[in-house]
Amino acid sequence: MRRPPENGEAASEGIGGWGLWGRQEPRRLGCAGPDRCGQALLQIGINMMALPGGRHVDSIALPGQRLHLMQVDSVQRWMDDLKLMTECECMCVLQAKPISLEEDAQGDLILAGGPGPGDPLQLLLKRGWVISTELRRIGQKLAQDRWARVHSMSVRLTCHARSMVSEYSAVSRSSSQEMGQVEKLLMEKCSELSAVTERCLQVENEHVLKSMKACVSETLSTLGQHFGQLLELALTREVQALVRKIDASDNIYTTESTTGNLFSLTQEGAPLCRIIAKEGGVVALFKVCRQDSFRCLYPQALRTLASICCVEEGVHQLEKVDGVLCLADILTDDSHPEATRAEAAAVVAQVTSPHLPFTQHLSSFLESMEEIVTALIKLCQEASSGEVFLLASAALANITFFDTMACETLLQLNAIRVLLEACGDKQRVDTPYTRDQIVTILANMSVLEQCASDIIQENGVQLIMGMLSEKPRSGTPAEVAACERVQQKAAVTLARLSRDPDVAREAVRLSCMSRLIELCRSPSERNSSDAVLVACLAALRRLAGVCPEGLQDSDFQQLVQPRLVDSFLLCSNMEESFV
């Protein structure tokens, strides 16, 4: 940090040093002699000042009087003076600035903070976000034919693009020929956009403007392509540097810092995850996870891997380096801390996600599936927190979608008992997200005939009945959606298990039919979810087939006897009565 200049220094620094402060100081507080210094102090009403070299005096002789000075901090003195000097200028700027009612007026100062010096990654990300936002806004204003705004925003876009290019060139290594070419194309298109939008301001003919609008739209599209290409090239370079650093480092602190930077990049979205995967990030991170000297960095490396594997390229790279085998080794090694095994479970959950179509072709997973499932059940049983249990149960839930053999393995490992016991432990199972994973496992296991007897033995029907009444605590969209999934899957589980007459009778005894009817007839009970309604109708019909005496005539005629689609339409259009 620069220090405020001592007396006399400001004049020597001039414009190259303190700028305006340096030019004004000799005039305001010139120190040619004690008399001039004293007069200056009296003029601004201050009775203290530091003399050159940091020395302080008790008094300065003046004609006919003595001026007593107190010893003060020079930095504080400088800050006080600076406030007086800049206040008028600030007021002028504020008075001259128009108050705009347009929502995009805030974008003028969108990068006020700016990235730190020497941080090319943050510079690229911040400038990239700003330019992307400007491109989107220009497109919106262009669609509205707001030509004045389109032109002013095009000029601002050009400034942002030029700043990104110059700032990145200043902090990065020597630029490649390809990047130089793209930079040139980008700036040419920026200039072209500014020029053509300026011409549009002077055109009044609607037909001419319409043809020019198509030209502006095409220029904007090409500019966006060049910008995306340049940003990808620059980010790829920076990712390559990080990956090389991780790969070559044998220092734990350097590796920790670089892995942290890589994890931060993964949080920016799928495009950056693809770049990291393509540039060898998965290979480098598994190299870290295979070195005993880096055991304390395993959780961080695994967390980064879980983020990268949200894209297809990440999963393919994981399979190429036998990543599943490495994960199995970590999960089955009790010498690893619980946190490390939990992060390994998170990677397993990610690469087996049923929502990602490319994970279904992970052939290497089948070879290690049994030992991974065994380790995950053990982790669920010994979990010390809800977060650990959630990660382990999420991995198990995804595996039950991944391969049907997993359900048989879970049945042999007494997974139903472990999961149902955990439901009574608030330390492990305390959110609808966790119950969503448990009921998913139960629903997928309930296709096995042997599952019904285990459910009855562990009082599982009563637990499923409770899940039909799942309610959100906070009312956030994510929690409401999780509660809907719990209700839907609980109804599906009940319908599948009710093939067994013993389960059906137990469900009727516990008044499950009454709750299912309530969910069908009252939209608020199911948050107006159609998925929950269909599942509840199916479960109700299955139970009615075993115990029809549990239904009233009206319920039977409306919810059971008609076709499923007719009952669905009746219930989905039903309005609640508040009488």
What is the rounded end-to-end Cα distance, in angstroms, of the chain?
71
Instruction: List the CATH number of the domain containing 351.
Output: 1.25.10.10
Residues 149 and 215 in one domain: yes
Instruction: List the CATH number of the domain containing 133.
Output: 1.20.120
Considering the domain boundaries, does residue 544 fall inside one? yes
What is the rounded distance in angstroms from the CA atom of residue 365 to the CA atom of residue 188?
50
Partner residues linked to 97 by β-bridges: none
Q: Which residues lie below 8 Å from residue 32, measured CB to CB, with a gap of 6+? A: none
Considering the domain boundaries, does residue 9 fall inside one? no
Residues 389 and 262 in one domain: yes
Residues 257 and 395 in one domain: yes
- For residue 422, how many other CB atoms are within 10 A of its CB? 19
Residues 404 and 503 in one domain: no
pLDDT of residue 81: 65
Q: Is 475 left (phi over 0), alpha (psi -120 to 50) or beta?
A: left
Residues 357 and 390 in one domain: yes
The amino acid occupying position 95 is Q
Residues 326 and 375 in one domain: yes
Residues 225 and 254 in one domain: no
What is the rounded distance in angstroms from the CA atom of residue 287 to the CA atom of residue 280?
11
Considering the domain boundaries, does residue 101 fall inside one? no
In the structure encoding, which two tokens stand for residue 198, read together?
Answer: 């300026």
Query: Which helix or strand (DSSP H or E) is residue 111 part of?
Result: none
Considering the domain boundaries, does residue 191 fall inside one? yes
In the structure encoding, which two tokens stand for residue 271, read together?
Answer: 């495009």
Q: How many domains does the chain have?
A: 3
Considering the domain boundaries, does residue 497 fall inside one? yes
Query: Which helix or strand (DSSP H or E) is residue 511 part of?
Result: none
Considering the domain boundaries, does residue 361 fall inside one? yes
Considering the domain boundaries, does residue 221 fall inside one? yes
pTM value is 0.74
What is the rounded distance in angstroms from the CA atom of residue 174 to the CA atom of residue 430?
54
Per-residue pLDDT of the chain (579 residues; tens, 9 = 90+): 433 334 443 333 333 332 322 333 333 333 334 343 334 333 333 333 333 333 333 333 333 433 333 445 677 766 766 655 544 444 444 444 444 444 444 445 444 444 454 578 888 888 888 999 999 999 999 898 888 899 999 999 999 999 888 888 888 766 778 888 999 999 999 999 999 888 888 887 878 888 888 889 999 999 999 999 999 999 999 999 999 999 999 999 999 999 999 999 999 889 999 999 999 999 999 999 999 999 999 999 999 999 999 999 999 999 999 999 999 999 999 999 999 999 999 999 999 988 887 766 677 788 889 999 999 999 999 999 999 999 999 999 999 998 788 899 999 999 999 999 999 899 999 899 999 999 999 999 999 988 888 898 888 999 999 999 999 888 899 999 999 999 999 999 999 999 888 899 889 888 899 999 999 999 989 988 999 999 999 999 998 888 777 778 888 888 888 888 888 888 887 654 443
Residues 376 and 478 in one domain: no
Considering the domain boundaries, does residue 20 fall inside one? no
For 186-235, the three-class secondary structure string (H helix, E strand, C coil) is HHHHHHHHHHHHHHHHCCCCHHHHHHHHHHHHHHHHHHHHHHHHHHHHHH
Residues 383 and 476 in one domain: no
CA angle in degrees (0–180, nearest 5) for 468-470-471: 140
Residues 405 and 497 in one domain: no
- H-helix segments, 44-99: 74-96
Nearest CA-CA partner of 220 in 142, 127, 309: 142
For 506-535, give the DSSP string: HHHHTTHHHHHHHHHH-GGGGTT-HHHHHH
> Domain ends where: 199, 229, 259?
229
Which range of residues forms the domain containing residue 299? 249-413
Residues 222 and 253 in one domain: no
Treating both helix axes as pointing N-terminal to C-terminal, what angle do 415-423 and 386-402 enclose, rounded to 10 degrees? 140
Residues 470 and 375 in one domain: no
The amino acid occupying position 25 is E
For 134-164, the three-class secondary structure string (H helix, E strand, C coil) is HHHHHHHHHHCCCHHHHHHHHHHHHHHHHHH
